[in-house]
Amino acid sequence: MSRRAYAIVAALVVAVAGVAVALGVRAAGPDDDTPAASASPSPTTSPVPVIVPGRPGESASVIPSDQLPAPDGTLYNAADTFFMRMMIPHHAQALEMAALAGDRAGHAQIRSVASRITAAQKPEIAVFQAWLKARNLSETEDGHSHAGMKGMQPPDAMKALASLKGDAFDKMFVDMMVAHHEGAIAMATDVVSYGRDERVNEIATGIAAEQQAEIGRMRQIPL
């Protein structure tokens, strides 16, 4: 090895040794007398930023997760409020579709599914309303349409469903209700991810499980 090459290798060895020593000092335990270099403590009092999903056509926003205290001391945020508000008209449309099945469905299984939807979702609307009332929040927000809400069926589809009977009704009912349920599950997933209120989380989790099971039952109906 030439003297020049030897000198380069020696320099590299010294550099690596220096890095190893530095790492050893940084990794020292509580008994080490050397203070940690430029270690700034992370803030413990700042709220965690929460990404709130935007309404149709709007971008998401970020708000402090603990800025909205409820009267009972629990915390909630805009994602919780949006979910509880929007699920009222969302459930109301499901109840409207379920009511049509009584004298239009051709299969008994469709009427059974419709009855289960009514039994589950009508009381849930009262839960949404009570949650909003306890926080002095209105059930609606001015300036926002429900038309673009996930899973909501357009008025012309609702009119078409009401005009059908028998097998034709059953097929359209399943298609529309599955899409409607999938929208509710997506909304529930959003609030579980971005919401703050534990009770809302429980409600959303229950809705997602309940409606996923109903989708499975509807898809098993021989149409």
Which class for 178: exposed (0-12), middle (13-18), buried (19 or more C-beta within 10 A)?
A: middle
The total number of residues written for the chain in this structure: 223
For the record, the structure tokens of 33 come out as 């007398």
Q: What is the mean pLDDT of residues 105-134?
A: 97
Averaging pLDDT over each range in 49-58, 93-102, 133-142, which range is the top one? 93-102
Q: What is the mean pLDDT of residues 81-85?
A: 97
More confident of the two residues 42 and 187: 187
For the record, the structure tokens of 204 come out as 């959303």
Alpha-helical segments (H) within the chain:
3-26, 78-104, 108-134, 155-162, 166-194, 198-219
Mean pLDDT is lowest, of 15-19, 65-69, 154-158, for 15-19
> What is the amino acid identity at position 171?
K
Q: What is the mean pLDDT of residues 160-184?
A: 98
Beta strand 68-69 with 61-64 is: unpaired
For the record, the structure tokens of 82 come out as 């949006």
Using CA atoms, how far apart are residues 31 and 42, in angstroms rounded to an integer? Answer: 22
Using pLDDT thresholds of 50, 70 and 90, give the confidence band for residue 70: confident
Q: What is the mean pLDDT of residues 156-179?
A: 98
**Site of tokens 């971005």:** 194
CATH 1.20.1260.10 fits 49-219, yes or no: yes
Using CA atoms, how far apart are residues 199 and 208, in angstroms rounded to an integer? Answer: 14
More confident of the two residues 61 and 110: 110
Report CA torsion sign: 35, 36, 38, 39: negative
Does residue 5 carry a pLDDT above 80?
no
Q: What is the mean pLDDT of residues 136-144?
A: 81
pLDDT at 34: 37
